[in-house]
Structure 1
Amino acid sequence: MTLNKKTIALAAASAALTAAPALADTLIYGSALPSIHQANTVVVEPYAEAVAQATDGEVDIQLTAGGALAGNRETLGAVSDGALDMGLITDFYTPTELPNSTMISDLGVLGKDARVITAAVNENLLIACKTCKADYEELGIVPMMMYSTTPYHVMCKGVDANALANLKGVKIRATGAMGQLMAGIGANPVNLQTTEAYEAMQRGSISCIAGSIPWLKTYQLGDMVTSVNMMALGTFHGTLPLNINADRWAELSDEQRAAMIEAIPARVRAIAKSYEDDDISVREDFEAKGVSFVEADQAFIDAVEAHAASDVERVGEAAGDRGAVDPEASIAVFQGLVEKWTGIVNDIGEGAWDEAQWDAYEQKIREEIYEKAEF
């Protein structure tokens, strides 16, 4: 079936009809990620419930997952032209349309902690980086929330992932900044959507994937992965799970819009907590099933660190070539936000947090970002 506005609209209408009866404002949400992914279960679904409750059922967000309405590469356009009201947008699939936003998500080497980077990317997008926000606004989209994964690791099937020598020339699913890193250490990066990685590994088209540990569960990669290199490579922080078509946003009442904004900080907290918790629990689960979690050898560590030292400059140059505005200044601003939120997170407490510490984090997200941002 050819993907266009008409076919998306027909599919969305069918999804809405088979769900709960339409309420005053039904917002059709499309996600290309599988239904069990944290972006759906931890962000979109509870967000929809919170908004419906806060608006007495006046705003009804209907999620259709698994790419039934639009794929990863099509979702930006679908929300932009109104075929979808909301959708899960991943910026690196459309770098030409989102040059400033993609520049920030390309800075994977700066990411060491999901709590820090999740906060930093939201403050950057919604307040600090006017050109990043303008990327979306010029397409008729109101951006509302981004998040970061926990750090990526090399995870392999049938390859001992600990040693640099074992990874030379090996096909590794890695995109954006991770693709550059894999090429830099001598591996062979393969540009695939994350949802395509399972089948590619099953067929032998790739032997490894650069991704976060929770992917062993959410993408079922743990069925095949035998070895995980525990050196943190950096985060991916280019996913925008909450956004809305600007025309649909304008149609909502002030009270409805306020309710939608009010519900966001809890989702920022929840997705960061989910990734942090899953890093621990998923590792324990798959370690018990025989997956080896191994320390990197010194050659691998040296190669990754050498690449990281030059990667920020590469990102700025590549972003400028794509049309990003004053990339060096924008990168410096983001680096400052990473430093700011590293301090905030450390002040709340190092290591795993209890609920009171997560409450403090959510309050900081609210005060520093959502009470100051304009939508």
Structure 2
Amino acid sequence: MKKMLSGVAVAALGVAFVTEAAATEWNASVWGKRRAFTEHVEKLAELVSEKTDGEFTINVSYGGLSKPKENLDGIEIGAFEMAQFCAGYHRDKNRAITVLELPFLGVNNLDEEVAVSHAVYDHPAVKDEMAQWNARIIMTSPMPQYNIVGTGEPRDQLADFDGMRVRATGGLGQAFEAVGGVPTSVPATEAYNAMESGVVDTVAFAQHAHLSFGTINDADWWTANLNPGTVNCPVVVNIDAYEALPAEHREVLNSSIDEAIDHYLANYGGLLEQWDSVLDEKGVQKVMIDDAVIEEFRTTAADPIREQWIADMSAQGLPGQDLYDLVQTTLKQQRGGN
């Protein structure tokens, strides 16, 4: 009897070990709080768990694993398996994808942002550069064109940007600098305090971030149509962790990405539809910049910054012109052009 029980116990223990070995648990490092910007990460975690009956789980951590500017470093050393980061936080570490942060790039909507981002992510130069950090990009975090909020009188003339201290990263910061602005790249989580304390005069964000980080609560006005560009924030996975996934779990992860992006786009679309009512509720003036002012801004900032970026990338051995051309070709294809 003892022998029979022992045999059953051993068999049960063996099954337990097999079950444990088959289970996969990942940690994903993001920041702030759950918001439109993180909905695809949340949806991806939901999908992989559902499709594997809980055998593959992704725990999404809001700041508990790393600071925003250190997420790529955490991926490199395997501190967590998945992370979100923004290219403007450390342009020297992700030079190739900064093509997506060039000002006045011509992207009109979130669908186009997804298309151009994923096309660039698939470029061999991008994959090689990300591999240096043991990172594989799996999806973008598409955001609409940034616009600024501020206090006092609206800054609706180009001369008003001269000396303006603006929270803006990456190519956006360069664009404002080109017209006399003074950009600073404080993390999104510190933007409200920077604005409230007077460290910055204005903050450039997409709509969801103005809401999530409270800058809209301290604002008197918001520029509705300045649209100088946006930032690019990929979601990456640790290559070693990705390659170590059981084949069925890797397939579930890969096949869930488009669903997660679709969920993100639908959710963000709802936020954009409600934006005017948010402005009314908070008493924020919607400022329309004159077309001539926008064109002057574009002429001053877009062409010189783009040409300098291409030259800088080429000097560093990266295919700058090829990456920029890829963006423009993808936009034409997305719009059904030839």
Give the structure 2 partner of residue 249 of structure 1: 242
Residues 22 and 60 in structure 1, CA contact (< 8 A), matched pair in contact too:
no
3-state SS in 2 of match to 1:268:
helix
Report which stretch shifted further, 258-267 or 166-175. Answer: 166-175
Give the structure 2 partner of residue 148 of structure 1: 142
Shift of 1:228: 1.1
1:103 to 99, 102, 105: 99
> What is the alpha-carbon root mean square deviation over aligned residues?
2.2
Deviations 1:185-235 (CA, angstroms, capped at 9, x unpaired): 222222222221111001011110122222221211111011112224243
Deviations 1:136-177 (CA, angstroms, capped at 9, x unpaired): 123222211013211111211223132333332111111111
Which amino acid letter does the alignment assign opposite residue 58 of structure 2?
I
1:273 aligns with 2:272: no
Shift of 1:37: 2.5
Q: What is the correspondence of 1:39-50 to structure 2 with a 5 Å cutoff?
A: 39-40=37-38, 42-50=39-47
Residues 149 and 272 in structure 1, CA contact (< 8 A), matched pair in contact too:
no
1:209 aligns with 2:203: yes
Residues 120 and 323 in structure 2, CA contact (< 8 A), matched pair in contact too:
no
Shift of 1:298: 5.1
Query: Rg larger in 1 or in 2?
Result: 2
2:154 to 160, 177, 187: 160
The structure-2 alpha-carbon separation of the partners of 1:204 and 1:83, relative to structure 1 and needing over 3 Å to count, comes to: same
Which amino acid letter does the alignment assign opposite residue 59 of structure 1?
F
1:197 aligns with 2:191: yes
1:312 aligns with 2:306: yes
Shift of 1:262: 0.9
Give the structure 1 partner of residue 13 of structure 2: none
3-state SS in 1 of match to 2:40:
helix
Give the structure 2 partner of residue 76 of structure 1: 72
Q: What is the correspondence of 1:10-49 to structure 2 with a 5 Å cutoff?
A: 24-31=23-30, 33-40=31-38, 42-49=39-46
3-state SS in 2 of match to 1:87:
strand
CA distance in structure 2 between the aligned counterparts of 1:324 and 1:161, rounded to whole angstroms: 40
- Aligned positions, number: 317
Residues 29 and 87 in structure 1, CA contact (< 8 A), matched pair in contact too:
yes
Report which stretch shifted further, 72-81 or 284-293. Answer: 284-293
1:331 to 304, 321, 324: 324
Residues 37 and 141 in structure 2, CA contact (< 8 A), matched pair in contact too:
no
3-state SS in 2 of match to 1:277:
helix
Shift of 1:299: 5.4
CA distance in structure 1 between the aligned counterparts of 2:191 and 2:74, rounded to whole angstroms: 24
CA distance in structure 2 between the aligned counterparts of 1:198 and 1:235, rounded to whole angstroms: 21
Identity, in percent, stands at 20
Give the structure 2 partner of residue 292 of structure 1: 285
3-state SS in 2 of match to 1:162:
coil
Give 5+ residue unaligned stretches, structure 1: 1-20, 345-375
CA distance in structure 2 between the aligned counterparts of 1:315 and 1:275, rounded to whole angstroms: 30
Which amino acid letter does the alignment assign opposite residue 106 of structure 1?
L
Moved over 6 A (4+): none
Q: What is the correspondence of 1:347-362 to structure 2 with a 5 Å cutoff?
A: none
Q: What is the correspondence of 1:336-347 to structure 2 with a 5 Å cutoff?
A: 336-343=329-336
Residues 30 and 86 in structure 1, CA contact (< 8 A), matched pair in contact too:
yes
Q: What is the correspondence of 1:115-264 to structure 2 with a 5 Å cutoff?
A: 115-126=111-122, 129-241=123-235, 243-264=236-257
Which amino acid letter does the alignment assign opposite residue 291 of structure 1?
V
Shift of 1:23: 8.6
TM-score by length of 1: 0.79
TM-score by length of 2: 0.87
Give the structure 1 partner of residue 87 of structure 2: 91
Shift of 1:179: 0.7
Residues 147 and 237 in structure 1, CA contact (< 8 A), matched pair in contact too:
no
CA distance in structure 1 between the aligned counterparts of 2:36 and 2:325, rounded to whole angstroms: 30
The structure-2 alpha-carbon separation of the partners of 1:299 and 1:104, relative to structure 1 and needing over 3 Å to count, comes to: closer
Shift of 1:108: 5.3
3-state SS in 2 of match to 1:147:
coil
3-state SS in 2 of match to 1:143:
strand
3-state SS in 2 of match to 1:110:
coil
Residues 162 and 179 in structure 2, CA contact (< 8 A), matched pair in contact too:
yes
